[in-house]
């Protein structure tokens, strides 16, 4: 019974014990995703998460985009984008945007790195459960890849009105988005919880 | 009995929504992660329907009111979501206009309709196309966040386009309304329990 999953989208009981490294399993009845197996999850997540966090630190310290027309110039960093909505009397939207593109992804990535580090230690730690809960709850609400598309659309929109220069921060943010996606896809919900339980049982 | 699919509910098991642990359906707290456990999400259809109606009500003003104001050399111009698409076509960037049209107009309305259809079909215990409806639900869940594109575009434009009297862009009330629509439909999709699509299958098979 230990290696059975109830499909999240149709409740069918499926045995996933035969899933090997690099393979993923999906439900035979409804086609829903069940689990993906990596033997080196900890290394993958730690590598992608630490690289991603470094890229994010870089992305928030330099110019993100700049704009000029007839000698007048305007310059923004990543954090100034949601802050502008705040100063225009829309704190709710500003807070939502900041949460979706910076706060949630950064928190999830940090928690993932700590979680995989602790699991890799091979000992049970009382922090494992709350960390894993935070990771799996938060990753659904990160919108880094959506923001990248939005930047491209915004560039096309203003290119007709003024000259736009893409700052180094944008490229760092794009690298952060890639690292984030890779880290999230390396940590499987089922496998992660099975390992936490195995550590607790020791 | 043997050719019936074995579901967790049939085996008197409930799966934890957080850690996927299987435990007896009588247990109310997950033995592995401590989350609250239930066989199916509580009041799934009512909650989903309530959130969908809220999103629909917000969706109307979100399209009628301006999402941003462009103030160029003293003359202010308001633009709605659809207005932005038309403007992009006039500027000659049809591909980008298509992106905005798909994410801000098609996806939110298609998503609302798909969710209404799913709730309706589960309510009347429809036996048809279960697999297709499951796929429809997964697509709906996946595309939800992509509707935020327009809000992010406004965020970037408002922050970046601040050239004094020459050219400024300010956010409009529709930005708040539309962000509400996207967030609420995402929560609605999360509240919908797609296992309900399959739940009446076993009874039917045994009746035949």
Question: Quick one: closest CA in A to B199, which residue?
Answer: A10
**pLDDT for residue A10:** 85
Among candidates A76, A102, A80, A90, which has minimal Cα distance to B170? Answer: A90
Angle between helices A104-120 and A168-186 (to 10 degrees): 50
CA distances to B7, B33, B140, B144, B173 from A12, rounded to whole Å, are 4, 22, 21, 26, 45
Confidence of residue B1 (pLDDT cuts 50, 70, 90): very low
Element housing A43 (H / E):
helix A41-59
- The radius of gyration of chain B's CA atoms, rounded to the nearest angstrom, is 22
Phi, psi of A127 (to 5 degrees): -80, -15
Q: What is the mean pLDDT of residues B31-50?
A: 88
Please classify residue B73 by burial: count the beta carbons closer than 10 Å to its beta carbon, then call 0-12 exposed, 13-18 middle and 19+ buried: exposed
Residue B176's pLDDT band, with cuts at 50, 70 and 90, is very high
Whole-number Å distance between alpha carbons of B112 and B59: 10
Which tokens belong to B111? Answer: 């998503």
Strands (E), chain A: 4-6, 13-15, 24-26, 33-36, 63-69, 72-77, 163-166
Query: Which helix (H) or strand (E) covers residue A194, if one does?
Result: helix A189-201
Position A7 pLDDT exceeds 70: yes
pLDDT of residue A202: 80
Q: CA B131, CA B109: separation in Å to the nearest integer? A: 22
pLDDT beyond 70 at A83? yes
Q: Could you tell me which of A151, A154, A147, A155 has the C-alpha nearest to residue A180?
A: A147
Task: Provide the whole-model pTM.
Answer: 0.89
CA distances from residue A59 to A52, B59, B75 in whole angstroms, order as listed: 10, 34, 35
* Every domain of chain B and the residues it spans: 1-39, 43-207
- Residue B97 Cα, gap to closest chain A Cα (Å): 9
- Give me the architecture of the A40-201 domain, per CATH: Up-down Bundle (1.20)
DSSP class per residue in B183-204: HHHHHHHHH--GGGGTTTHHHH
Which among A9, A29, A160 has the least Cβ separation from residue B137? A9
Asked if the Cβ–Cβ distance from A193 to B19 is below 8 Å, we say: yes
Rounded CA gap, A181 and B100, in Å? Answer: 23
Look up the ipTM and state it.
Answer: 0.89
- What average pLDDT score do residues B76-88 get? 86
The answer, for A189 touching chain B at a CB cutoff of 8 Å, is yes
Closest in A129, A153, A161 to B149, CB measured: A153
Does A193 score more than 50 pLDDT? yes
- State the Cα–Cα distance between residues B38 and B28, nearest whole angstrom: 7
For chains A and B, what is the number of CB pairs under 8 angstroms?
Answer: 199
Q: Is B48 helix (H, G, I), strand (E, B) or coil?
A: helix
Inter-chain touch A143–B32, beta carbons under 8 Å: no
Is residue A22 pLDDT above 80, yes or no? yes
**Closest CA relative to residue A109, chosen from A192, A176, A172:** A176
A residues 29-88 near B, CB within 8 Å? Answer: 29-32, 65-67, 69-70, 72-74, 76, 80-85, 88
Q: 3-state DSSP call for residue B78?
A: strand
The torsion angles phi and psi of A167, rounded to 5 degrees, stand at: -85, 170
Tens digits of residue pLDDT in B14-27: 888 888 888 888 88
Question: B43-207 in CATH: which number?
Answer: 1.20.140
Whole-number CA gyration radius for chain A: 21
Output DSSP code: residue B68: E
């Amino acid at each position: 019974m230990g290696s059975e999953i109830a499909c999240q989208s149709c409740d069918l009981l499926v045995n996933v014990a035969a899933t090997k490294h690099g393979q993923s399993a999906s439900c035979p009845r409804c086609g829903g995703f069940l689990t993906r197996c990596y033997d080196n999850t900890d290394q993958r997540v730690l590598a992608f998460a630490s690289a991603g966090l470094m890229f994010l630190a870089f992305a928030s310290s330099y110019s993100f985009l700049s704009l000029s027309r007839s000698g007048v110039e305007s310059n923004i960093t990543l954090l100034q984008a949601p802050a502008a909505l705040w100063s225009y009397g829309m704190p709710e939207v500003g807070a939502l945007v900041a949460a979706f593109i910076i706060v949630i992804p950064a928190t999830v990535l940090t928690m993932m790195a700590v979680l995989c580090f602790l699991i890799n230690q091979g000992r049970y730690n009382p922090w494992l459960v709350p960390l894993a809960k935070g990771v799996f709850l938060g990753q659904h609400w990160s919108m880094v890849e959506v923001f990248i598309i939005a930047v491209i659309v915004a560039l096309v929109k203003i290119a007709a009105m003024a000259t736009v220069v893409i700052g180094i921060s944008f490229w760092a943010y794009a690298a952060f988005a890639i690292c984030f996606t890779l880290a999230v896809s390396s940590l499987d919900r089922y496998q992660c919880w099975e390992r936490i339980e195995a550590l607790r049982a020791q | 009995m043997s050719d019936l699919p074995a579901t967790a509910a049939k085996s008197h098991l409930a799966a934890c929504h957080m850690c996927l642990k299987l435990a007896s359906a009588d247990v109310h707290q997950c033995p592995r992660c401590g989350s609250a456990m239930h066989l199916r999400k509580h009041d799934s259809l009512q909650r989903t329907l309530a959130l969908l109606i809220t999103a629909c009500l917000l969706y109307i003003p979100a399209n009628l009111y301006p999402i941003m104001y462009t103030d160029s050399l003293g003359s202010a111009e308001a633009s709605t979501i659809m207005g932005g698409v038309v403007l992009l076509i006039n500027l000659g960037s049809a591909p980008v206009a298509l992106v905005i049209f798909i994410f801000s107009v098609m996806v939110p309305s298609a998503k609302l309709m798909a969710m209404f259809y799913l709730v309706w079909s589960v309510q009347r215990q429809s036996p048809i196309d279960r697999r297709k409806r499951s796929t429809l639900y997964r697509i709906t869940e996946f595309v939800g966040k992509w509707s935020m594109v327009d809000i992010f575009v406004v965020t970037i434009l408002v922050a970046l386009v601040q050239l004094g009297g020459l050219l400024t862009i300010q956010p409009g009330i529709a930005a708040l309304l539309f962000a509400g629509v996207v967030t609420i439909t995402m929560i609605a999709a999360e509240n919908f329990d797609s296992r309900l699509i399959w739940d009446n299958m076993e009874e039917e098979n045994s009746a035949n």
